[in-house]
């Protein structure tokens, strides 16, 4: 019985992480220019790398999400997902600490971050990362 | 981390990266491999296939803009939201928020001649609303439309005169 519950919990975590990453990649793939501007807004990455990151990150997220759900290299997919979550947490945390907020004041630019939404993102990513680490521990390397 | 994990990571990346570049190449929303992220060169943007940013119509020198404003050489249009406009705008600038473009188009056409020299600005180098607005004016056969790429933020940072609408 206990194993059944554990199985359900692990399945839910797997689905949550996978779907979150697939969903997150969708808007970025649909509008890479806007995603590039968000990356620029973090003011962390070199200018030459911004577009390359905007092009590639969403597809790595998408494929890692599908790979986790479908069980193709699930541990590798989890390692990628956890790695991304850790990077997101560090980036958001770093910008919160130095008080950097990016607001271009544009009508077309809908993702206008504010401290509150950044804190929400930070908490969400932290919870996802904890779940991801737990799932990784429970996913045996065969 | 086992050897299989590492192989899996490599496999997923090797699958994802070419797919990403391939998709970007053929996507109507694709972007260039290197964007324009230097504010010294004007409005920053990813340089996408759907971009309305046209560096040829930009004026990237606030001193020139100051002269234009002082000599009233062009009709100046602020395309930010009305709230931002009320808090502060360039002297004698008209407010035509991009978001209300379709609602105010007749008012705009009544108040501005198509032969008029127009200068459009929005919030900052990071904002492309002024370019989108300029693009729409061009579609309406306005021929002399320029964009102040630094926008209101640069004007403010230069310490130039600002008009406010007191409520």
Total-model pTM: 0.82
**What are the angstrom distances between the C-alpha of B60 and each of A85, A103, B78, B154?**
38, 20, 16, 10
Is the CB of B32 less than 8 angstroms away from the CB of A51? yes
Question: Most distant CA pair in chain B: distance in Å?
Answer: 71
Chain B residues within 8 A of A111 when measuring between CB atoms: none
Could you report the per-residue pLDDT of A96-136, keeping only the tens digit for each?
888 776 654 555 544 455 556 778 888 999 999 999 999 99
A123 three-class SS = helix
Terminal C-alpha separation, chain B: 63
Among chain A residues, CA nearest to B123:
A105
Q: CA B11, CA B17: separation in Å to the nearest integer?
A: 10
Q: What is the pLDDT of residue A2?
A: 66
Q: What is the pLDDT of residue A102?
A: 63
Smallest Cα distance from B21 to chain A, Å: 7
Could you report the per-residue pLDDT of B48-83, keeping only the tens digit for each?
888 788 888 999 999 999 999 999 989 999 999 999
Could you report the per-residue pLDDT of A16-61, keeping only the tens digit for each?
999 999 999 998 999 999 899 989 988 889 999 999 999 999 999 9
Reply yes or no on whether the pLDDT at A15 is more than 70.
yes
Could you report the per-residue pLDDT of B93-126, keeping only the tens digit for each?
999 999 888 888 888 888 888 888 999 999 999 8
Q: What is the pLDDT of residue A116?
A: 62
Is the CB of B37 less than 8 angstroms away from the CB of A29? no
pLDDT band (50, 70, 90) for residue B165: confident
Say which residues have a Cβ less than 8 Å from residue B41's Cβ, sequence separation at least 6. Answer: B55, B60
DSSP H/E element including A87: helix A74-97
Out of B19, B29, B128, closest to residue A106 by CB: B128
CB B121 within 8 A of CB B79: yes
Chain B residues within 8 A of A59 when measuring between CB atoms: 16-17, 19-20, 23
Which candidate, A46, A36, A110, A57, places its Cα nearest to that of B45?
A36
B17 three-class SS = helix
Q: What is the pLDDT of residue A40?
A: 92
- Token pair of B93 as six digits: 């600038």
Burial of B159 (0-12, 13-18, 19+ CB in 10 A): exposed
Is the CB of A107 less than 8 angstroms away from the CB of B99? yes
Could you report the per-residue pLDDT of A59-87, keeping only the tens digit for each?
999 999 999 999 999 999 999 999 999 99
Q: What is the pLDDT of residue B1?
A: 81
pLDDT band (50, 70, 90) for residue B85: very high
Is the CB of A105 less than 8 angstroms away from the CB of B11? no
Q: Is the ipTM of this complex over 0.95?
A: no
Chain B residues within 8 A of A47 when measuring between CB atoms: 34-35, 37-38
Q: What is the pLDDT of residue A111?
A: 45
């Amino acid at each position: 019985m206990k194993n059944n519950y554990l199985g359900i919990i692990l399945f839910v975590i797997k689905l949550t992480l996978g779907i979150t990453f697939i969903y997150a990649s969708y808007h970025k793939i649909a509008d890479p220019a806007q995603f590039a501007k968000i990356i620029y807004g973090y003011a962390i990455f070199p200018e030459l790398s911004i577009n390359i990151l905007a092009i590639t990150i969403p597809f790595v997220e998408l494929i890692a999400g599908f790979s986790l759900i479908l069980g193709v290299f699930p541990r590798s997919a989890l390692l990628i997902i956890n790695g991304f979550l850790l990077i997101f947490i560090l980036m958001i945390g770093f910008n919160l600490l130095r008080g950097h907020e990016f607001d271009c004041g544009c009508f077309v630019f809908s993702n206008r971050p504010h401290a509150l939404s950044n804190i929400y993102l930070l908490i969400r990513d932290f919870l996802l990362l904890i779940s991801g680490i737990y799932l990784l521990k429970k996913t045996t390397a065969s | 981390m086992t050897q299989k994990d590492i192989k899996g990571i490599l496999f997923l990346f090797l699958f994802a990266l070419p797919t990403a570049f391939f998709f970007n190449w053929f996507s109507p929303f694709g972007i260039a491999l290197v964007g324009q992220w230097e504010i010294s060169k004007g409005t920053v943007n990813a340089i996408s296939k759907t971009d309305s940013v046209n560096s040829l119509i930009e004026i990237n020198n606030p001193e020139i803009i100051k002269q234009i404003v002082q000599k009233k050489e062009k009709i100046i249009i602020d395309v930010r939201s009305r709230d931002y406009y009320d808090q502060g705008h360039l002297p004698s600038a008209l407010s035509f928020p991009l978001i209300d473009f379709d609602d105010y188009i007749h008012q705009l056409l009544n108040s501005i001649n198509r032969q008029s020299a127009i200068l459009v600005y929005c919030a900052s180098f990071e904002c492309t609303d002024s370019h989108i607005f300029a693009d729409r004016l061009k579609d309406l056969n306005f021929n002399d439309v320029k964009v102040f790429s630094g926008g209101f933020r640069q004007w403010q940072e230069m310490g130039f005169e600002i008009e406010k609408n007191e409520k």
